[in-house]
Amino acid sequence: MKKSFIYIQIIAVGLLTLLASCGDDFLDRKPESDITPTSYLTDEEHLAAFTINRYSVLPSHGSWSFGTFGIDKHTDNMAAMHYDNKYVPGEWRVPQSGGDWNFHHIYRLNYFLETVVPRWKSGEISGSEENIKHYIGEAYFLRAYVYFNKLQNLGDFPIVRKTYPDEMEVLTNISKRSPRSDVARFIIADLDSAAMLMQVNSIDGNKNRLSKGCASLLKSRVALFEATWLKYFKNTPYVPLGPDWPGAEKDYNKDWNYPSGGIDNEISWLLDQAMTSAKAVADNYRLTVNNGVLKQDIADADNEYFDMFSAEDMSSYSEVLLWKDYDKGLGITHNVPVYAQKGNNGIGLTRGFVDNFLMANGLPIYASGSGYKGDDIISDVRNDRDGRLWLFLKEPGQKNILIPSTVGTHGTPIETVPDITFVDSEKGYGTGYSIRKGLTYDAKHTANGGGYTGSIVYRATEAYLNYIEACFEKNGSLDASATNYWKAIRARAKTDVDFSKTIAATNLTEEAKNDWGVYSAGNMVDVTLYNIRRERRCELMAEGLRFMDLKRWRAMDQLINQPYHIEGFKLWGPIKDWYEDGYLKPGNNVSSPDRSLYFRPYERTGQELVYEGYRWNMAHYLNPIAFAHFLITSKDNEVSTSPIYQNPNWPTAPNLPPTNF
């Protein structure tokens, strides 16, 4: 298998082309066919090697990070050591170059598809017909995945289906942005192609390669994302044909309309797509069993649900659709097990997230009869709570290692008191609340950077959640399938399955203190819909989908005028006695009790730009396009002549904040 062809260096041309991104763009390179041997991509193994190399676009654990478990930092769920400037209006500015406007992966996948599909149809590729089809399906899936990232970050985006010659007029023409609804449909069409071509089960028999179920799951995610985006941003510049939509200023959009005839029809169609594709997964993949055991002795029963997130081999877990394998012998390792036994690489759960979890009896913590013990100490926080919080929220004194190993030089056998004063993420705790998702009890994985547990890319539970939400958004009620899916998730979480009891006891004013998902467009949502969002938040804890959800729900408008303070555990109570006298220094290494009894990691000194809380700007729902892309595609350096238009409220000049700041 000549994988070396995958890494052939493409010769860059001297001319800066319209879509250049500092050398990271397919349109500033000669066609790969000019330099790639014509015998390549003519054999099943060539196809397999090419597409597996593109799996790098999918989320996975990195060497020196908390991996996929840390992606949710900078949301209301999780906080890192340092705040994000997107919550400081005026600090996020248009970049000079770079950004999301690039086609690095799109180019390679387009080259593959335009080369391989004709060869396949004419019988020019040797190998198993089913396998050839599968690898072509993988390429469609991966192109859809890359385009979905563009949709989330930029909205409207050029739909490029093939490679083009290095001719300025041609390249300028194809830089025209397609309205986001067309982009979403393009993604869904690619996923339909992927599902049609890929095999039902992972081709490697180990779930390390994509399968039909992955395509259905991602399709449900994409369709739900776009349906809810269109619903909650309706009548704004953030949807095509909305007032002041910047795409209207370009003549090439003058005759555009929604493929279904209107935005409401489009929302309905997308919700149907989300439900159908989610059901195709949910009905065929059972949930992994949670026996309710937090293993603290080698003799204790294993808990499959806990082990699923840190197993070396994840192929046997029923709900895992795709996972990445690591190999110590090949040096493909990561540091997640080390950080899971410490402070999660400085990323902690927020108080708002912790308070959002229900009690095991299905009641919110503030409800009468909930039995909530309070948050003076972490053991009380966990007591009688939703089984997911009880299982995954760590507390001092718990055992992290049950299987010793001489190579486990960076393990933490017993969970320590969280050091919230240490601002180095290697050793510090971001909020005082840390999780054990990703923790393995086997010390062999705690060699410095030497862990080789797997990382989950897709699991079927998301499909359950996608169906429930899409069903309610579509119909305003839950059908039998949605009801059964919700009960199954809560039963696995060891929480009362009667979600109607939860809904009846929910006070949205109380929930708004903890959860941005209470809101859409600055207004509180329906109480049932809110609880659907809560279930999603809790089940997908630390799995990297929170910011995506907050954006599609338009759940941050309220922060424009109402700052939100990120808080951690209740420091100024009995917990303060965990630390020696003089160790905690308000106004220096910890926040003052005068501001809150709860630790505020971004309010230690008064010099922080978010000292008065997180704020938002509407422009931040989409990323700005860097100035260089307008300049390159313009005539005589007049950016107004570029076929590219900027996202709402972002200027077309570098180093400037949104115009509505």
Q: pLDDT for 207-260, tens place per residue? A: 999 999 999 999 999 999 999 999 999 999 999 999 999 999 999 999 999 999
Residue 39: per-residue pLDDT: 84
Q: Looking at the predicted structure, is the pLDDT value of residue 175 above 70?
A: yes
Q: What does the alpha-carbon distance between residue 306 and residue 394 come to, in Å, rounded to a whole number?
A: 13
Task: For 558-593, write each residue's pLDDT tens digit.
Answer: 999 999 999 999 999 999 999 999 999 999 999 999
Q: What does the alpha-carbon distance between residue 346 and residue 512 come to, in Å, rounded to a whole number?
A: 26
> Confidence class of residue 34 from pLDDT cuts 50, 70 and 90?
very low
Q: Looking at the predicted structure, is the pLDDT value of residue 497 above 60?
A: yes
Question: Phi/psi at 401 (nearest 5 deg)?
Answer: -125, 125
Q: Compute the C-alpha angle 54/58/62, nearest 5°.
A: 105
Q: Looking at the predicted structure, is the pLDDT value of residue 28 above 50?
A: no
Element (H, E) at 457: strand 455-459
The answer to whether the Cα torsion of 229, 235, 236, 241 is positive or negative is: positive
Are 119 and 140 spatial neighbours (Cβ–Cβ below 8 Å)? no
Query: Which residue, among 340, 327, 323, 314, has the nearest Cα to 456 in the 3D structure?
Result: 323
> Confidence class of residue 7 from pLDDT cuts 50, 70 and 90?
very low
Q: Looking at the predicted structure, is the pLDDT value of residue 65 above 90?
A: yes
Mean pLDDT of 520-545: 98
Q: Looking at the predicted structure, is the pLDDT value of residue 3 above 90?
A: no
Q: What is the largest CA-CA distance in the chain?
A: 78
Q: Looking at the predicted structure, is the pLDDT value of residue 544 above 80?
A: yes
Residue 430: per-residue pLDDT: 97
Query: Considering the chain, what is the average pLDDT of its residues?
Result: 93
CA distances from 572 to 55, 375, 417 (A): 46, 11, 15
- Buried b / exposed e over 323-350, threshold 16 CB at 10 Å, is bbbbeeeeeebbbbbbbbbbbbbbbbbb
Mean pLDDT of 54-72: 96
Task: For 121-172, write each residue's pLDDT tens digit.
Answer: 999 999 999 999 999 999 999 999 999 999 999 999 999 999 998 888 888 8
Mean pLDDT of 397-417: 97
Are 309 and 441 spatial neighbours (Cβ–Cβ below 8 Å)? no
Q: What does the alpha-carbon distance between residue 266 and residue 260 come to, in Å, rounded to a whole number?
A: 6
Residue 168: per-residue pLDDT: 82
Residue 543: per-residue pLDDT: 98
Task: For 327-358, write each residue's pLDDT tens digit.
Answer: 999 999 999 999 999 999 999 999 999 999 99
> Confidence class of residue 12 from pLDDT cuts 50, 70 and 90?
very low
Long-range contacts of 28-34 (CB under 8 A, 24+ apart): 28/166, 29/107, 30/166, 31/111, 31/163, 31/165, 32/8, 32/108, 32/111, 32/163, 33/111, 33/115
Residue 5: per-residue pLDDT: 20
Residue 170: per-residue pLDDT: 86
Q: Looking at the predicted structure, is the pLDDT value of residue 10 above 60?
A: no
> Confidence class of residue 37 from pLDDT cuts 50, 70 and 90?
low
Percent of the chain at pLDDT > 90 equals 91
- Supply the DSSP symbol for 210: -
Question: Phi/psi at 458 (nearest 5 deg)?
Answer: -135, 135
| Global pTM value | 0.94
Residue 22 Ramachandran class (φ > 0 left, ψ -120 to 50 alpha, else beta): left
Q: Looking at the predicted structure, is the pLDDT value of residue 29 above 50?
A: no
Q: What does the alpha-carbon distance between residue 44 and residue 48 come to, in Å, rounded to a whole number?
A: 6
> Confidence class of residue 661 from pLDDT cuts 50, 70 and 90?
confident
Residue 166: per-residue pLDDT: 82
- Buried b / exposed e over 586-601, threshold 16 CB at 10 Å, is eeeebbbeebbbbbbb
Higher pLDDT, 22 or 542: 542
Are 287 and 488 spatial neighbours (Cβ–Cβ below 8 Å)? yes
Q: Looking at the predicted structure, is the pLDDT value of residue 657 above 70?
A: yes
Query: Which residue, among 170, 223, 231, has the nearest Cα to 192 in the 3D structure?
Result: 223
Q: Looking at the predicted structure, is the pLDDT value of residue 24 above 50?
A: no
Instruction: Say how far residue 440 (Cα) sits from the centre of its chain.
Output: 23
Residue 482 Ramachandran class (φ > 0 left, ψ -120 to 50 alpha, else beta): alpha
> Confidence class of residue 660 from pLDDT cuts 50, 70 and 90?
confident
Q: Which residues contact 288 (CB under 8 A, 6 or more apart)?
A: 304, 305, 308, 317, 318, 319, 320, 492
